[in-house]
Structure 1
Amino acid sequence: MSNVIKAVLISAALLLPSIGWAQGKIAVVNLEQAILQTDYAQKRLNTERSSDAYKSDKAEFDRLKDELDGLVQEFQKEAAVMSQDQQLSARRRLASKQADLEHVAGKLQQTEQQVGQALLQEMSPKVQEVLQELITAEGIGLLLQRGSVIHADAGYSITAKVTDKLNQAFTE
């Protein structure tokens, strides 16, 4: 009986390394980051940021931020000598200015997200090609999206490689 167990253990020990080799290596990728860091995506984002509507919203954001910062400093300086009514009024102004700032920030963020989503859709076929090339070339047996991984050392990431290959593909 012990000879049978030994034979099974020896067979298992010899088989395990080959199973690991057959499965290939593990890698992670952040596709959104890989796409948005391409030269092509950066040009598109810069074009959007150069538009009159975006510049107007950005200027409004900067103005509101400066006003809010000024109101906060004034409130902090004067709060000790303010009556409760004055403090309540100042807090309402702060809350109103904060709401305005958040609204404009949301518009800016939404614009960038729309451009990002359009880029993701537009570049998706090329991304699939690049991923297939990398999976084959690197012998990757398991590729995970970075957002679904709790921890991965930088050595597991192929995000920069995907970005490089996309840069090459979109300059050709």
Structure 2
Amino acid sequence: MVCAGFLLATSGALAQTAAPVVGVVNLEQALFNTQAAQELQAAIEVEFSEDQARAETLNTELRELVERAQRDESIMSDAEKRRVSTDAQEKQVQLQMISERVQAALQERNQAFIESMRQNLGTAIETVVREGGYNLVLNADSVAFFDNAYDITGKVTAELNELNQ
């Protein structure tokens, strides 16, 4: 009887304890959905538009060379086949160089952006946690599954936008 009373009292106390408020945030998505990230993306597109145009031209020329080589292979001389093959290889190398240069620059810019936003990201998360009464916030990359109701990424992005104004 005493044990049963203790269990009821204990379970009643547990029932009165508030459930923890949990949130999940995708840090990368929160950062790269900000207005600042969109402005950076637009600037990058303008900056690399010449490289993009050159890559598209090279791709078109390369495709035409391959089509010509396949179509005219039987009537091309060995010297002509070598020239077409050399041209195609040169275009492939140029494409690779453009791609590597652009990828390196993008990676550098993205890393610089992340570093510049690190402090504001921490502040934004703290604000969302405080205002939302969260007891626990998890990184979405570390969670196998979560219901969208726990996702606070949009709130963090909105707070980042406020901080960056």
Q: Structure 2 length as normaliser, TM-score?
A: 0.72
| Correspondence 1:32-51 to 2 at 5 A | 32-51=28-47
Q: Distance in 2 between matches of 1:68 and 1:16?
A: 71
Structure 1 position 9 matched with structure 2 position 42 = no
Structure index of larger Rg: 2
Residue 135 of structure 2, aligned match among 93, 118, 141: 141
In the alignment, is the contact (CA less than 8 A) between 2:128 and 2:159 conserved in 1? no
- Counterpart in 1 of 2:110? 116
CA-to-aligned-CA distance 1:118-152 (integer Å, 9 cap, x gap): 11111211221111111011111111111111222
SS, match of residue 151 in structure 1: coil
Q: Is the 2:124–2:156 contact (alpha carbons within 8 Å) kept by the matching residues of 1?
A: yes
TM-score by length of 1: 0.70
Structure 1 portions without partners, runs of 5+: 82-88
Q: Residue 86 of structure 1 aligns with which residue?
A: none
Structure 2 residue 66 is matched with structure 1 residue 58? no
State the AA in 1 paired with 2:103: Q
State the Cα distance separating 1:111 from its structure 2 match. 1.9
Map 1:1-172 to 2 at 5 A: 3-4=2-3, 6-21=4-19, 24-51=20-47, 54-67=48-61, 69-70=63-64, 101-171=95-165
> What SS is found at the alignment partner of 1:150?
coil
Per-residue deviation, residues 15-61 of structure 1 (Å, max 9, x unmatched)? 4334453xx3111111222112211222123223222xx22322233
Q: Check conservation: 1:36, 1:116, Cα contact below 8 A.
A: no
Q: Does the aligned pair in 2 maintain the 1:68–1:98 contact within 8 Å? A: yes
Residue 9 of structure 1 aligns with an amino acid whose one-letter code is L
Report the residue type matching 1:142 in the other structure.
L
CA distance in 1, matches of 2:15, 2:157: 33
Q: Distance in 2 between matches of 1:38 and 1:111?
A: 20
RMSD of the alignment, in Å?
Answer: 3.6
Q: Tell me, in whole angstroms, the C-alpha distance in 1 between the residues paired with 2:29 and 2:66.
A: 35
- Gap regions ≥5 residues in structure 2: 75-81
Counting aligned pairs with the same residue, the percent is 26
Residue identity in the other structure for 2:120? K
Would you say the 8 A contact 1:45–1:115 is kept in 2?
Answer: no
Relative distance call for 1:109 and 1:18 in structure 2 (3 A) is farther
The superposition leaves residues 91-131 of structure 1 with CA deviations (integer Å, 9 ceiling, x where unpaired) of 99988866754553343233222222111111211221111
The one-letter code matched in structure 2 to 1:129 is T
Change (3 A) 1:93 1:124: same
1:121 counterpart letter in structure 2: E
